[in-house]
Amino acid sequence: MTTQTLRAMVRDDPDWITGHPRSTLSRGLLGAEVLLVLALSLGQSGVYSIVSLIAQLTAPGGLAKSSQALNVSVTPTRPWLDLTYQLLGIFFALVIVGMVIYLLARDQGRPLAILGIDTRQPRFDSLTGVGLAALIGIPGLGLYLAARALGLNVQVIPAALTDHWWMVPVLVLSAIQNAAVEEVVVVGYLMTRLRDLRWRTTTAIATSAVIRGSYHLYQGFGAFVGNAIMGTIFALFYRRYGRVLPLIIAHSILDIVSFVGYALFKNHLSFLH
């Protein structure tokens, strides 16, 4: 990425998201809406992550001796009930996506076009998504291992589901759900609303990135830094192209590789422990 391209991506163009019109709502209503959406979703997760980080830092052994398990079984000895819990969790997490799409539709119309979640550019979306996944994933693994070695990150267990026939499909669905919620809310919706509130482009990008980092703080400081960098890259991408779908594809790939890869190979790769 050249300096000229980067400057073009962050310049404070008053209509910087693909030329879509601004919201007709007052700034007061928009500000209240953004705060409520964040309080019900990723902002809430950020607050809990900060509390979790404090708990880990003050526990015996600190971060280096702590661990966090993702995708855990609810009723390990009752597989059908456990599957029901997993699917319900995925479904209700996606409700927030429907809510922000509805909120954008109320006053601006064509919310999927604003977010860039459509079939207009399938080749661009898919190839760019794969490229972004590689750009983020390979250095991200290195950052995690380095942070673990320095005692700045907890041990992350990406998949702790009981080994049932539905384990892999549920992990894939969970990855897609995570990607959809995070990219739609903290990139597409938040960047659009901050533009509507007339925030400077650089401030909007920084806010999106810091929020993304904050709700990963439960994993440690390395996770905060890595996800904030990822958030900056993704926000810049959305600022330039106005499309969330490639970000969802990239994020889904990253989480699928992490979740499913850990579940299948945890007993064969020592660096995962």
Check if the beta carbon of residue 267 is closer than 8 Å to that of residue 163.
no
Check if the beta carbon of residue 262 is closer than 8 Å to that of residue 68.
no
Helix locations, 116-166, DSSP H:
122-149
DSSP output for 213-264: HHTTGGGBHHHHHHHHHHHHHHHHHHHHH--SHHHHHHHHHHHHHHHHHHHH
What is d(CA 273, CA 270) in angstroms, rounded to the nearest whole number? Answer: 6
Would you call 94 helix, strand, or coil by DSSP? helix
Check if the beta carbon of residue 71 is closer than 8 Å to that of residue 177.
no
pTM of the model: 0.91
What is d(CA 47, CA 62) in angstroms, rounded to the nearest whole number? Answer: 19
Domain ranges of the chain: 26-272
Query: Residue 151 has which token pair?
Result: 């005692």
Strand partners, 155: 67
User: What confidence score (pLDDT) does residue 266 get?
Assistant: 81
Estimate the crossing angle of helix 122-149 against helix 221-241, to 10 degrees.
Answer: 160
User: What confidence score (pLDDT) does residue 207 get?
Assistant: 97
What is d(CA 158, CA 209) in angstroms, rounded to the nearest whole number? Answer: 22
pLDDT along the chain (273 residues), means of 10: 51 54 87 96 94 93 90 95 97 96 89 93 96 95 91 92 95 98 97 94 96 95 96 96 97 97 81 56
User: What confidence score (pLDDT) does residue 199 get?
Assistant: 94
User: What confidence score (pLDDT) does residue 229 get?
Assistant: 97
User: What confidence score (pLDDT) does residue 24 get?
Assistant: 84
Query: DSSP assignment, residue 220?
Result: B
What is d(CA 259, CA 248) in angstroms, rounded to the nearest whole number? Answer: 16
What is d(CA 189, CA 213) in angstroms, rounded to the nearest whole number? Answer: 17
Strand extents, DSSP E, 118-227: 155-157
User: What confidence score (pLDDT) does residue 270 get?
Assistant: 61
Check if the beta carbon of residue 82 is closer than 8 Å to that of residue 73.
yes
Query: How far from 125 is each of 241, 242, 250, CA to CA, in Å?
Result: 11, 11, 9
